[in-house]
């Protein structure tokens, strides 16, 4: 872990060799969920902490073998050491959550304890309400609340206020970190005329330095898309945003990366019933600074990228099977994370999808072997590092959801 270098984030693709990534292992905060409150926290199931951590161990261990890993909590502790930052952040959080009466309590904590409480919550002795300060159990899904867009960090505007604290913590980290040097943007606050709209990082993929992909569905709204288009206009030059309409239900379709992820220069993972289905519209926004914006409808996402000089051969989730596809998509079978061109992480349990990748020239490596050093990814031209995720997948996300890349090499 290279904490002595101040990292300047830059991401211009989904597949460039990964230099730095931020992770957060699922902690005690996920034990707050019960059958009664899981839906409130946007989960369709409750997770076992010990099983989730066992799944996560080889996932994180594999990434530590191939890149530099920063942890969210270390970054949070770093900024909380600055008294003015700590004061402003705690005040903002308590005001947003209408818990100002907890200020004196939180002020009494040392930095490590405060960081823990802001993530895991603070338990109450009352029988009726377990937590005075609720936890943020979605935090291990690093991708949703912030995304590296070129050399800026885009702070998301979440569709539900239960995740607002995550965006506030990310914003403070990127503005005040001594380990990361970057400017943040919030497209909704800056460009939305109405002041409404939502954009979540799981919907945003950088296909190429001039091409942004975005889902539009339950979590990212049309107003959010419009705000991102305005941001692209402000950057100048010709750029493209391709919007993919997503089904509003079930919950497994919440983000674009649940149905489409990039694997290599010429390969992508796609859930066929959505990505190759013209019933779900694909809209292409071409912008040239403030000169013009052209809007057109495309046949599908793969075809749109092909027209822009990105020919991709799709590998289908579940092998494209009408029965296996929906089953494996439900457990994040299309959600892969590339740490280099053609080298990806994904759940081992989605064996039909893994088999489809094998048929497309990907070596299948066990994450436990990569994490232990028994096997090296350097010996493969293309590979899938498959990790056990029988507990993690119940949270509704996969490898891409659990990573926040901040620096990739140019492809």
Q: What is the pLDDT averaged over residues 149-177?
A: 96
Residue 403 lies in a domain: yes
pLDDT value at residue 205? 98
Q: What is the pLDDT averaged over residues 118-137?
A: 84
Residue 163 lies in a domain: yes
**Rounded to whole angstroms, how far apart are CA atoms 134 and 40?**
12
Q: What is the pLDDT averaged over residues 238-242?
A: 98
Residue 157 lies in a domain: yes
pLDDT value at residue 128? 61
Sheet holding 383-387, edge to edge: 337-340, 343-347, 383-387, 363-366
Residue 10 lies in a domain: no
Residue 7 lies in a domain: no
pTM of the model: 0.95
Can you say how many angstroms the Cα of residue 148 is from the centroid of all Cα atoms in its chain?
A: 10
**Rounded to whole angstroms, how far apart are CA atoms 196 and 287?**
22
Cβ atoms of 371 and 57 within 8 Å: the answer is: yes
pLDDT value at residue 194? 77
The token pair at 261 is 């992820």
Residue range of the domain that includes 185: 18-408
**Rounded to whole angstroms, how far apart are CA atoms 373 and 338?**
19
pLDDT, tens digit, 9 for 90 and up, residues 80-111: 999 999 999 999 999 999 999 999 999 999 99
Q: What is the pLDDT averaged over residues 134-150?
A: 95
- Does the pLDDT at position 337 exceed 70? yes
pLDDT, tens digit, 9 for 90 and up, residues 299-323: 999 999 999 999 999 999 999 999 9
pLDDT value at residue 394? 87
More confident residue, 36 or 401: 401
Cβ atoms of 327 and 269 within 8 Å: the answer is: no
pLDDT, tens digit, 9 for 90 and up, residues 255-309: 999 999 999 999 999 999 999 999 999 999 999 998 889 999 999 999 999 999 9
Q: Which residues of 121-135 are buried (b: 16+ CB within 10 A; e: fewer)?
A: bbeeeeeeeeebbbb
- Does the pLDDT at position 41 exceed 80? no
- Does the pLDDT at position 125 exceed 80? no
On the question of a cis peptide bond just before residue 250, with omega within 30 degrees of 0, the verdict is: yes
Cβ atoms of 314 and 302 within 8 Å: the answer is: yes
Residue 287 lies in a domain: yes
Q: How many domains does the chain have?
A: 1
pLDDT value at residue 73? 98
- Does the pLDDT at position 328 exceed 90? yes
**Rounded to whole angstroms, how far apart are CA atoms 110 and 81?**
9
- Does the pLDDT at position 127 exceed 60? no
- Does the pLDDT at position 190 exceed 80? yes
Q: What percent of the chain is modeled with pLDDT above 90?
A: 86
Residue 193 lies in a domain: yes
CATH number (domain holding residue 330): 3.75.10.10
Residue 3 lies in a domain: no
């Amino acid at each position: 872990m290279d904490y002595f270098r101040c990292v300047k984030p830059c991401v211009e693709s989904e597949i460039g060799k990964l230099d730095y990534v931020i992770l957060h292992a699922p902690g005690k905060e996920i034990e707050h969920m019960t059958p009664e409150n899981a839906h409130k926290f946007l989960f369709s199931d409750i997770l076992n902490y010990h099983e989730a951590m066992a799944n996560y161990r080889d996932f994180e261990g594999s990434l530590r073998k191939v890149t530099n890993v920063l942890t969210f909590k270390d970054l949070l502790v770093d900024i909380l050491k600055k008294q003015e930052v700590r004061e402003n952040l705690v005040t903002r959080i308590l005001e947003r959550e209408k818990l100002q009466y907890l200020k004196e309590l939180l002020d009494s904590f040392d930095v490590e304890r405060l960081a823990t409480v802001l993530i895991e919550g603070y338990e109450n002795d009352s029988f009726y309400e377990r937590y005075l300060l609720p936890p943020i159990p979605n935090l291990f899904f690093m991708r949703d609340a912030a995304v590296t867009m070129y050399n800026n960090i885009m702070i998301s505007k979440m569709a539900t206020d239960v995740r607002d604290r995550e965006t506030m913590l990310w914003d403070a980290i990127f503005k005040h970190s001594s380990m990361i040097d970057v400017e943040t943007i919030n497209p909704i606050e800056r460009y939305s005329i109405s002041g409404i709209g939502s954009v979540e990082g799981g919907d945003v993929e950088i296909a190429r330095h001039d091409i942004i992909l975005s889902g539009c569905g339950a979590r990212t709204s049309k107003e959010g898309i419009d705000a991102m288009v305005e941001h692209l206009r402000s950057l100048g030059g010709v750029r493209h945003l391709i919007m993919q309409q997503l089904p509003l239900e079930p919950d497994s379709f919440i983000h674009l990366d649940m149905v489409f992820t990039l694997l290599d220069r010429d390969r992508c993972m796609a859930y066929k019933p959505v990505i190759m289905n013209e019933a779900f519209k694909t809209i292409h926004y071409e912008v040239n600074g403030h000169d013009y914006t052209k809007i057109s409808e495309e046949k599908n996402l793969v075809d749109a990228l092909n027209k822009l000089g990105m020919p991709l051969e799709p590998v289908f989730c579940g092998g494209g099977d009408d029965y296996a596809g929906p089953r494996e998509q439900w457990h994040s079978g299309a959600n892969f994370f590339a740490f280099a061109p053609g080298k990806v992480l994904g759940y081992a349990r989605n064996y039909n999808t893994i088999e489809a990748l094998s048929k497309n020239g990907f070596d299948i490596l066990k994450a436990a072997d990569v994490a232990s050093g028994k096997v090296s990814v350097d010996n493969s031209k293309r590979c899938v590092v498959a990790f056990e995720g029988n507990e993690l997948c119940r949270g509704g996300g996969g490898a891409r959801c659990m990573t926040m890349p901040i620096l990739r090499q140019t492809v």
